[in-house]
Every structure is written in structure tokens, then in C-alpha cells.
Amino acid sequence: MIRRVKLIALLLGWIMTCSISMTAYALEWGSKEMETEKLAVQFANQVEKGGYGIVTTEELKAWIDKKEPILIVDTMPFEDSYKKNHIPTALQIEFPVEEMSQLDEEKKEALEKLLGPDKSRKIVFYCGFTKCGRSHNAAMWAVKLGYTNVYRHPGGIKAWMEADYPTEKDNK
């Protein structure tokens, strides 16, 4: 009889623990879904409008490890970001966060000089994190300038560092 009571108490305790855990999980699971959805739709719209491809952090690391010919471009501010940490071999040109409807002649010339004359060259743009629009602007304008093998790395330097991949610093 005592053994049966202990077994029932143990079973009830387990059920309560599972119920509490499931309730907590359910509350956490959907807590920011609207924000996630908004970000996902915004990102999908940017990719469609920009006409470029996307590359994950792991894929970009694999391209680098395979020594694929690739130009990596950091679109963050030089002093505040690039100088502190950037993906190895990345070059830098700053773009704004808000979408650019026009590209002034000075920025166009600087971008074309950085990207070079080979319009089929594999180019990857990144910025700080998925919500940041800098890499979208740069990738979109590269496509508009006729570059055909353009990618955006949406996770940016944040995802790169979270993956514990190596970074470089610019000591200039």
C-alpha cells in the first residue's frame, strides 16, 4: 500500500513537472513570433528585390576553407566595426542601413573599384546581423551594376563570431 502511494505521488509529481515545463515552453515558443515573422518577410522581400543569393555562415566558412575564389565585403563602418573585427580577407565599404533608392556617383565609383571589372566574380556582402540592411544595399547595387554572382551573408559578423570562427582586426 505504501509503495503504491509513493508510486502515485511520484507519477503525479512527474505529470506536474511536465505540465509546468510544457506551459513554460509554450509561452516561450510563441513569445516573439510576430517579430520573427516580420523579420523573415522583410528579409525575403529584400532578397527578391535585390536579385542576389544568400549564403549561411557555415556555407561561407566552407567556401573560405575550400579556398574558393571569392571577394568578401564588410559593409559596416570602418572605425566602429571593421577595424575591431571582420571576416578574414574581407574588404570594407560602408553602406547605410536604410534602403537606398539611388546611388550617388562617388559611392558607385568606389563600389565598382572595390569589386573590380570581373562581373561574374563571386562576391559576398555582410554587415552586423540579419536585421541590418547594409549588406542588402550593397548586394542590391552590385547586382544593379551588372555583377552576376552576388550573395548576402545575413547573419553577418554576429553569426560569424557566434560560430566561433576566426576574425581579423585592422590595426591602421
User: Does 170 score more than 90 pLDDT?
Assistant: no
Residues 40 and 74 in one domain: yes
Q: Give the residue-averaged pLDDT of 59-64.
A: 97
**What's the whole-number average pLDDT of the chain?**
85
Residues 7 and 73 in one domain: no
C-alpha cell at 39: 523579420
What type of residue is 2?
I
* Backbone CA torsion sign across 36, 47, 88, 165: positive
User: Does 111 score more than 90 pLDDT?
Assistant: yes
pLDDT bucket at 24, cuts 50 / 70 / 90: very low
Per the structure, the complete domain to which residue 25 belongs is given by 1-31
User: Does 11 score more than 80 pLDDT?
Assistant: no
More confident residue, 2 or 36: 36
pLDDT at site 99: 80
User: Does 85 score more than 80 pLDDT?
Assistant: yes
pLDDT at site 83: 87
Residues 82 and 116 in one domain: yes
Answer yes or no: is 103 within a domain: yes
In angstroms, the CA 85 to CA 22 distance is: 40
More confident residue, 140 or 22: 140
Answer yes or no: is 168 within a domain: no
Secondary structure (DSSP) of the chain: -HHHHHHHHHHHHHHHHHHHHHHHHHHHHTTTHHHHHHHHHHHHHHHHHHT-EE--HHHHHHHHHTT---EEEE-S-IIIIITT-B-TT-EE----SSPPS---HHHHHHHHHHH-S-TTS-EEEE-SSTT--HHHHHHHHHHHTT--SEEEETTHHHHHHHTT---B----
Q: What is the CATH number of the domain that holds 78?
A: 3.40.250.10
Answer yes or no: is 6 within a domain: yes
76 and 157 in contact (C-beta within 8 Å)? yes
Q: Give the residue-averaged pLDDT of 71-97.
A: 92
pLDDT at site 36: 83
pLDDT at site 2: 62
User: Does 139 score more than 80 pLDDT?
Assistant: yes
**pLDDT over 90 percentage in the chain:** 58
In angstroms, the CA 144 to CA 67 distance is: 27
Length of the chain: 172
In angstroms, the CA 163 to CA 56 distance is: 11
